[in-house]
Amino acid sequence: MRLCMAKFFRINELDNVAVALEKIEAGCSENGITALDDIPFGHKIALCDIASGENIIKYGNPIGHAVSNIKKGSHIHSHNIATNLSGVIDYKFTADNDYSPENTDLKVNAYKRKNGKIGIRNEIWIIPTVGCVNKTAQKIASDANAVLGEGCDGVFAYTHPFGCSQLDEDLSNTQKILAALVKHPNAAGVLVISLGCENNNLNEFKPVLGDYDESRVKFLVTQDVGDELEEGLKLVKEIYSEIKNDKREAVGIENLIVGYKCGGSDAFSGITANALCGAVNEKLTKAGASTILTEVPEMFGAEHLLMQRTQNREVFNKTVDMINGFKDYYFSHGKECYENPSPGNKEGGITTLEEKSLGCIQKGGKSVVTDILGYGEPCVTKGLNLLTGVGNDIVSTTNLTAAGAH
């Protein structure tokens, strides 16, 4: 049960804190609670006395512990609460969770691709194999957008600083992501641009790419032509002639893949936008669609709730490996796993990573977790997928796209 007072909002009946819905001055009273301190907008107020060492409860779960005795009505933030997060955890599997999508007539208007996937856009993408040709890619995209007609939603150059001076896993990750972008169904056609001398040259990249539609995927090595801008525009026009007559048609919503990530969280994210996203997530997965939640560090402290919703022991074990593996990555570099909340998060009322994570995972609603994906791994399972990735907007958005999110 949620308790909404005029000035405070308690999210869960188990909570011993509430969120200030406005700036509250010391001495203000509401429902038997008198603020002992000034409480900034979005920050926490104690609903009862909390002894030093006791857990602070929000969203019905611990978000840390009191480092001093806290009186009812006190401001709770970095000065009197500390995280409970530390090392890896020996999690215990509880039970299977049935995932049985409902039959539905829900449709989405999309473009059917030859490989059976759907696109919700009909764009032409220009993918550089190396950062050295970024400006060339951008210029070709600009020139193409100035001359192409209807039937294409735009030409976009997706630039990056990688592709050269990379080896082993570093290069493999770059190739995996770029190959996934080339095959993304929102791209009706793709021009891949190479400089020619980079580590990720076409002889190295094409085997990673695998099969592709030769009429819609073209390649340009700039060192092999006299005028790369002229040649690039020519190839884009060839792609355009192939894709310009593509038409949307109604397809089942189960073909849709929707990605979720965080961005600029404050104390209200978990009870407004993220909660709404979670409700949509539940409707999508019940209809047989796929959803993806990423940014693993922003699951720390809330991962147990995701594990309780795993479909079976195999998915549970993969979730444990993802969480503990990511923590071990931090520890191997001499870093703690809980130093995620940014100054902006804290100013907005978020104190600990547990608190941020509990708000973050609201985007998953109560959907059953059906699979765990590696970095850049394609999503092939219906239901809620967890995608291995960092808590960074640009990286995680690219990661979601590579996984197939529309």
* Domain limits, the chain: 3-82, 123-243, 250-402
**Secondary structure (H, E, C), 179-231:** HHHHCCCCEEEEEEEECCCCCCCHHHHHHHHCCCCCCCEEEEEHHHCCCHHHH
pLDDT of amino acid 86: 87
pLDDT of amino acid 1: 44
> 123-243: CATH homologous superfamily?
Sugar-phosphate isomerase, RpiB/LacA/LacB (3.40.1400.10)
Q: Which of 393, 391, 385, 390 is nearest to 404 (CA)?
A: 385
Residue owning tokens 């007072």: 5
pLDDT of amino acid 2: 52
Rounded average pLDDT per 10-residue block, the chain, 406 residues: 70 96 92 93 97 98 97 97 91 95 93 96 98 98 97 98 94 97 98 97 97 97 98 98 98 97 86 95 98 95 97 98 94 84 89 94 97 96 97 93 98
pLDDT of amino acid 5: 60
Topology of domain 3-82, per CATH? Answer: 2.30.130
- Written as one letter, the residue type at 169 is E
